């Protein structure tokens, strides 16, 4: 179990480093991420490296038994580099330059940036590849975090190359993008530009390809560095820190290239449902590489600096969220950062060692958590504990982000709504791609799978035919991989499986925003045996074509029409929901599907804010609520106290970790 944080000794005099390591030992720190933003200190000029200070830090950490996740430091180029090579600066959609003075001011496609970054990584690999302190390599930092998209000439040239490789001929691109629309037909790849500022909507297939290109380009930078490290003979695991469900990078594709997944997560302590959002991110990280425990690479010990209001974490909340990560598959809990900075933009950002020193609650909680994690035995890994899978697909997200749809949909928020409903029911869930092997699951939920490939459709169909229960949500199976309609209407691939056909999408008036006070219908109530669900955004006109209606719209323009259907196929069931349910509605619909499939909660009857998670034989129960909760835990051993488990009262933010007999 790794415990530690980003360590930025370049911000401090050497005397402070000695105090740092002493305090790290006091807190049971096992690993630090070193030098993430130290490029200008490591390389003061082109061709010149200053390793003396870094040698001393690495040796000091090693002498004190603290391992290092060594950064390649390529996320913030030094001023000498951008002054000498302004062509490496990125540009926005108006071709306005992102200037230096902050961080991440490099164009990912810039050959100059790539050359300079490679030189730095090569030098670090040669010098520290065999250093005994270095147990992991931390490539760059949060690729794409601030600068989601680059539209510079470097990006344009690279985008054209990417398109040439993908399509081979300009005719193939024209066909895929449907460029006969609005006179967009190209005669040469050289005519294609990134989606820079234009009078009106860009070609949606072009937008989709630009997002694919951007994700591939950022991944290409990671692979460039990884190759240099491996060529230098480094065998230690290599990672780069993810940011949960992050639009610009398709982490499913990235995950295959990571030795270990690491993630940065900053829930808002002011949000009473913060633990539900973080539960989703943690499940996503585990699901990206299920056999290898992931690492929570960054979180905050207390308040942040970058929200309009940066509330402190409540007493115990930091530890509760840390244990949630461990429960959901992490073998490491790290923070940004070890010691609170005295200058720079992040001086108000909390740290493991606060500016106010060791007399603080933050420090006490950091030391307390370090001791607890150090006492934990090795936890099971690679178990498949979930019988429910929730589809989360980046390509689909990108396509849904295109404008000009019946209604604006926030895809990750809608998927998270289902995840939250399951979490509140203590039902364990994995995130999956629609093309993944689904055979281990009883239930698969696929909300808003607008872009559906033929391979995904046949995989979902095979899942149902093999006995699984699939719930497809409204606005699914609408377009192909080029964001174009398939011939023959909608639900062209899943319609026969679902036993329905779709006539129209039926946008509803948004609940908030312009128009909400008007006469339009904003909610679509679905009534079914034993319950009801309120739908928003869409109330689709569907027609039964073999399916049975489990529920119908009650009131509104579709009064009495089928809204929630089921169709048997093989030994499985294919459900369809013709609207987008609110939070309670997700729960009510999930209850129907889960109980028919015989899915059990991890622990029944828990209060809503108490979560229970299995990690193989280990059960973790965490009280995120504001009231104490008394629970009967299954027989086993409490791994934090060594006592037999049984009836326990958990005050707010307390938890129990039990190895079940
Ligand atoms: C990100 C970065 C860190 C730091 C934190 C602050 O996660 O990786 O360097 O800026 O945000 O929350």
In the chain, where the domains are located: 2-147+219-375, 388-597, 610-660
What spatial distance separates the first Cα and last Cα of the chain, rounded to whole Å? 23
Mean pLDDT, residues 182-200 taken together: 98
Token code pair at residue 583: 């939070």
Average pLDDT of every residue of the chain:
97
Q: What percentage of the chain reaches a pLDDT higher than 90?
A: 98
Q: What is the pLDDT of residue 638?
A: 97
Q: What is the pLDDT of residue 510?
A: 82
Contact 69, 31 (CB under 8 A): yes
Mean pLDDT, residues 529-549 taken together: 97
Q: Indicate if 610-660 has the same CATH topology as 388-597.
A: no
Q: What is the pLDDT of residue 441?
A: 98
Q: Which ranges in 402-548 belong to alpha helices (H)? A: 411-424, 454-465, 495-498
Which ligand 1 atom lies nearest to the CA of residue 241? 8
Candidate from 124-128, 158-162, 286-290, 604-608 with smallest mean pLDDT: 604-608
Tens digit of each residue's pLDDT (9 = 90 or more) over 51-103: 999 999 999 999 999 999 999 999 999 999 999 999 999 999 999 999 999 99
Give the separation between CA 180 and CA 98, rounded to whole angstroms: 35
Mean pLDDT, residues 467-473 taken together: 98
Mean pLDDT, residues 135-141 taken together: 98
Q: What is the pLDDT of residue 515?
A: 59
- Is pTM, for the whole model, over 0.85? yes
Q: What percentage of the chain reaches a pLDDT higher than 70?
A: 99
Contact 31, 136 (CB under 8 A): yes
Give, using CA atoms, the residue closest to atom 6 of ligand 1. Answer: 336
Q: How far is the CA of 35 from the centre of ligand 1 (A)?
A: 13
Which ligand 1 atom lies nearest to the CA of residue 36? 9
Name the band, by pLDDT with cuts 50, 70 and 90, for residue 23.
very high
Give Rg (Cα) of the chain.
Answer: 26
Q: To test the ligand 1 pocket, which listed residue (74, 142, 281, 344) has its Cβ within 8 A of the most ligand atoms?
A: 142
pLDDT at 112 over 90: yes
pLDDT at 339 over 70: yes
Mean pLDDT, residues 126-151 taken together: 98
Which superfamily is assigned to 2-147+219-375 in CATH? Answer: Glycosidases (3.20.20.80)
Name the band, by pLDDT with cuts 50, 70 and 90, for residue 512.
low
Q: What is the pLDDT of residue 511?
A: 72
Give CA separation, 657 vs 264, 296, 327, 332, 640, in Å.
23, 18, 8, 16, 6
Give the separation between CA 96 and CA 138, rounded to whole angstroms: 31
pLDDT at 519 over 80: no
Q: What is the pLDDT of residue 520?
A: 81
| Dihedral over alpha carbons 374, 379, 381, 387 (to 10 degrees) | -130
Token code pair at residue 630: 């008394």
Q: How far is the CA of 46 from the centre of ligand 1 (A)?
A: 27
Mean pLDDT, residues 296-317 taken together: 98
Element (H, E) at 623: strand 618-623
Catalytic residue IDs: 142, 298
Tens digit of each residue's pLDDT (9 = 90 or more) over 575-602: 999 999 999 999 999 999 999 999 999 9
Contact 162, 216 (CB under 8 A): yes
Q: To test the ligand 1 pocket, which listed residue (281, 346, 347, 351) has its Cβ within 8 A of the most ligand atoms?
A: 346
pLDDT at 525 over 80: yes
pLDDT at 516 over 90: no
What angle (nearest 5°) sits at the alpha carbon of residue 401, between those of residues 399 and 403? 100
Nearest Cα to 630, choosing from 605, 598, 593, 594?
605
Q: Which residues line ligand 1 (CB under 6 A)?
A: 141-142, 264, 266, 298, 304, 336, 346, 349
Domain 610-660 has CATH 2.60.40.1180: yes
Mean pLDDT, residues 305-321 taken together: 98
Considering the domain 388-597 in this protein, what is its CATH number? Answer: 3.40.50.880
Mean pLDDT, residues 330-353 taken together: 98
Name the band, by pLDDT with cuts 50, 70 and 90, for residue 44.
very high
Tens digit of each residue's pLDDT (9 = 90 or more) over 596-651: 999 999 999 999 899 999 999 999 999 999 999 999 999 999 999 999 999 999 99
- How is 531-557 classified by DSSP, letter by letter? EEEEEEEEE-EEEESS-EEEEEEESST
């Amino acid at each position: 179990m790794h415990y530690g944080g980003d360590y930025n000794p370049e911000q401090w005099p050497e005397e402070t480093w000695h105090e740092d390591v002493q305090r790290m030992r006091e807190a049971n720190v096992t690993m630090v991420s070193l030098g993430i933003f130290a490029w200008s200190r490591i390389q003061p000029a082109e061709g010149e490296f200053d390793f003396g200070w870094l040698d001393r830090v690495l040796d000091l950490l090693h002498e004190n038994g603290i391992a290092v996740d060594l950064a390649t430091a390529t996320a913030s180029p030094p001023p000498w580099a951008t002054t000498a090579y302004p062509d490496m600066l990125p540009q926005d959609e108006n071709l306005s330059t992102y200037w230096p003075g902050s961080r991440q001011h490099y164009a990912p496609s810039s050959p100059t940036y790539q050359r300079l970054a490679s030189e730095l990584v090569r030098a670090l690999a040669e010098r520290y590849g065999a250093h005994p302190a270095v147990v992991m390599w931390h490539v760059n930092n949060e690729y794409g975090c601030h600068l989601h998209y680059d539209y510079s000439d470097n990006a344009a040239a690279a985008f054209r190359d990417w398109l040439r490789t993908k399509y081979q001929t300009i005719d193939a691109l024209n066909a895929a993008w449907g460029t006969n629309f609005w006179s967009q037909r190209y005669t040469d790849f050289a005519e294609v530009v990134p989606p820079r500022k234009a009078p009106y909507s860009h070609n949606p297939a072009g937008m989709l390809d630009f997002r694919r290109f951007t994700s591939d380009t950022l991944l290409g930078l990671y692979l460039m560095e990884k190759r240099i490290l491996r060529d230098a003979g480094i065998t230690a695991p290599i990672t780069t820190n993810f940011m949960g469900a992050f639009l610009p990078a398709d982490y499913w594709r990235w995950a295959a290239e990571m030795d270990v997944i690491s993630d940065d997560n900053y829930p808002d302590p002011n949000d009473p449902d913060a633990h539900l959002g973080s539960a989703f991110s943690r499940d996503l990280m585990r699901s990206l590489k299920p056999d290898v425990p992931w690492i929570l690479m960054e979180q905050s010990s207390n308040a942040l600096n970058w929200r309009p209001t940066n509330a402190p974490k409540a007493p115990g909340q930091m530890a509760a969220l840390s244990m949630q990560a461990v429960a959901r598959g992490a073998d490491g809990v790290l923070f940004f950062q070890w010691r609170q900075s005295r200058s720079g933009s992040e001086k108000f950002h909390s740290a493991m060692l606060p500016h106010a020193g060791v007399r603080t609650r933050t420090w006490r909680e950091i030391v307390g958590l370090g001791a607890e994690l150090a006492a934990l035995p090795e936890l099971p890994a690679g178990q498949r504990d979930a019988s429910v899978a929730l589809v989360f697909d980046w390509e689909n997200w990108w396509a849904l982000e295109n404008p000009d749809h019946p209604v604006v949909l926030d895809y990750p928020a809608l998927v998270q709504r289902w995840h939250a409903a399951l979490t509140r029911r203590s039902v364990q869930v994995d995130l999956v791609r629609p093309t993944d092997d689904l055979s281990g699951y009883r239930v698969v939920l696929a909300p808003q799978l607008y872009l559906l490939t033929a391979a995904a459709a046949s995989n979902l169909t095979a899942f149902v035919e093999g006995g699984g229960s699939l719930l497809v949500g409204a606005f699914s199976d609408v377009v192909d991989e080029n964001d174009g309609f398939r011939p023959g209407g909608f639900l062209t691939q899943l319609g026969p499986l679902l036993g329905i056909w779709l006539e129209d999408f039926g946008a509803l008036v948004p609940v908030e925003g312009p128009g909400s006070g008007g006469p339009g219908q904003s909610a679509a109530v679905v009534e079914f045996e034993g319950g009801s669900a309120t739908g928003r955004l869409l109330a689709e006109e569907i027609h039964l074509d073999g399916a049975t209606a489990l529920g119908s719209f009650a009131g509104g323009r579709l009064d009495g029409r089928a809204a929630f259907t089921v169709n048997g196929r093989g030994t499985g069931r294919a459900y369809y929901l013709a609207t987008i349910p609110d939070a309670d509605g997700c729960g009510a619909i999930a209850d129907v599907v889960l109980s028919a499939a015989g899915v059990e909660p991890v622990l029944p009857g828990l209060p809503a804010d108490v979560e229970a998670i299995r990690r193989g034989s280990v059960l973790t129960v965490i009280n995120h609520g504001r009231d104490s909760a008394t629970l009967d835990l299954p027989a086993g051993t409490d791994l934090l106290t060594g006592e037999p488990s049984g009836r326990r009262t958990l005050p707010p933010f307390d938890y129990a970790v039990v190895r079940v007999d």
